[in-house]
Amino acid sequence: MKIIMVKNVKILMLVALAAISCKEADSSKKENKSEGIEEVKEIQKISLADKNATTETQILYKNLFDLQEKGYMFGHQDDLAYGVNWKYEEGRSDIKDVVSDYPAVYGWDIGRIENKEEKNLDGVPFAKMREYIQQAHSRGGVSTISWHINNPMTGGDSWDNAEGTVASILPGGEYHDKYKGWLDNAADFLLSLKDDEGKLIPILYRPYHEFTGNWFWWCKNTTSKEQFVELWKFTVNYYMEKGVHNLIYVYNVSNANVTSKADFLEYYPGDDMADYVSFDIYQMGDGEKQEQFIKDTKNLVAVMTEIAQERNKLSAIAETGYEQVPDKNWWTQTLDKAIGDEKISFVLVWRNHGWNDWLKPARMHYYAPYKDNVSVEDFKEFYNQENTLFQSDVTKFNLYSTAKP
C-alpha cells in the first residue's frame, strides 16, 4: 500500500510539473506574440509618404530612426564603381582601401535614364549600378539615388535652367506626356532593384535636389513655390501609381539662399510628401572659406534637426566635401566639428572621379580620401569615432530586420 501511495504521489507530482511547464510555455508564447504585435504596431506608426510602402521599406525607415541615436552613417557617391586611378574593380572602394571597410551609404545618380541610355551621366552603366546596389544591400548597406535629369523642354541638360520648364511638364503642360515617359523609364529601373529573394530594395530617393540654388531647371529662380510643390506631389503620386513602393523620399535644399527655418521650408511639399529633410553644402577653399563652411554647416544642421524633430522626419547632409581634401585634419576638425552633437542620419561626400578634363581648369576631382591623400590618417581617426558609422556598423544593426542587434 505504501509503495502504491508513493507511486501515486510521484505521478501527481509529474502531472503538476507538466501543468506548470505547459503554463510557462503558454505564457512564453503569449509574451513572444505580444512582442511581435508591438513590433508591428511600432512599424505602423511610421508615417512614410508612400502609405503602401513595402514592409522592408517601412522597417528600414524605422530602424534608421533608432540608428540615428547611435551616430551618423558615412556615405560616398559612386563608391563601388570607380575611384582615383581605377574603375570597375570587383569589391574595390577608395574608402575600403583606407580603412578596410565600406561606407554605410552608397550614392548613385540615374541621370540619362530618361533617354534609356546604357550609362548614366557619369559613365556608370545602369546594369553595373543595379549590381552595386544589390551588393550594398546584401551587406546591409543603404543606397540613395538622385537624378540629374535633362531639361524636357529645351533638350539641354540639368543645368539648362530655362524659365518655364517646370510649368511645361505639369499636367496640361506641353511636355507633360514626355515627362511621364521619362518617369516611366525611372520607375522601370527602380522596380528592377531586387534582392536575392526577389523583394524590392528600399532606396532613399532625392529628386529635384538643391532647388534653392539657381543652376538646375527646377531651381527656385525659374520655378514658383506652387509649381515646385505640384511637381513634387505629381512625381510621388505617379511613382505610387506605377507600383514603385520602395522609395523613402528625401527633400533637399542647397546652402544657397537658406539660413532659417522659413528659408528651408519655403518650397516644402508637406509632411505627407517627404520622409527626410536634408541639405547640400561644399567647402570651397581654406582660411575664411573654411571658417564660413563650418559656420554655415553648424547653422543649417541646427535648423534642419529642429525641423526634423518637430515633424518626426530623418535628417541628413546629402552632399558635402572639400575637393581633393587638402586639409590633413579635415574629417575630425572641420566636418565632424561642424556637425557637432546634433543627431543626423547620414553625411555623404561626393565622388572620386580622379583627373577631370572637363573642369576648368582641368584637375584632380575627388572628395573622399584615397590611399595617397594627405588626410588618410585623420580619416582613420574619423572612422574610429563612436559617432561615425560605416558598413560594418550597420551590418551589425540589421537595418532590414525587426530583430534587435
Query: 162-219, pLDDT tens digit by residue?
Result: 999 999 999 999 999 999 999 999 999 999 999 999 999 999 999 999 999 999 999 9
Rounded Cα–Cα distance for residues 53 and 140 (Å): 19
With cut-offs at 50, 70 and 90, classify the pLDDT of residue 360. Answer: confident
Q: Does the pLDDT at position 262 exceed 70?
A: yes
Using alpha carbons, select from 61, 197, 97 the residue that is nearest to residue 138: 197
Looking at residue 362, its pLDDT comes to 85
More confident residue, 190 or 405: 190
More confident residue, 199 or 20: 199
Q: Does the pLDDT at position 153 exceed 70?
A: yes
CA dist 301 to 156, 255, 274, 288, Å?
Answer: 34, 11, 18, 20
Q: Does the pLDDT at position 3 exceed 80?
A: no
Rounded Cα–Cα distance for residues 272 and 16 (Å): 56
Number of neighbouring beta carbons within 10 Å of residue 295: 11
Q: Does the pLDDT at position 25 exceed 70?
A: no
Which residues on neighbouring strands pair with residue 73, listed in sequence order?
Answer: 346, 389
When pLDDT is averaged across residues 244-268 and rounded to a whole number, the result is 98
Strands 354-356 and 346-349, bridge-based pairing: unpaired
What's the DSSP call for residue 146? E
What's the DSSP call for residue 358? T
When pLDDT is averaged across residues 130-138 and rounded to a whole number, the result is 98
Query: 289-320, pLDDT tens digit by residue?
Result: 999 999 999 999 999 999 999 999 999 999 99
Q: Which residues contact 231 (CB under 8 A, 6 or more apart)?
A: 166, 169, 170, 208, 218, 223
Q: Does the pLDDT at position 390 exceed 70?
A: yes
Q: Which residues contact 307 (CB under 8 A, 6 or more apart)?
A: 261, 264, 265, 277, 313, 315
What's the DSSP call for residue 115? G
Beta strands of 43-173 (E only): which ranges?
Answer: 72-77, 82-83, 86-87, 105-109, 142-146
Instruction: Supply 32's cell numbers.
Output: 513572444
Whether residue 269 has a cis bond before it, omega within 30° of 0: no
Looking at residue 405, its pLDDT comes to 65
When pLDDT is averaged across residues 64-90 and rounded to a whole number, the result is 97
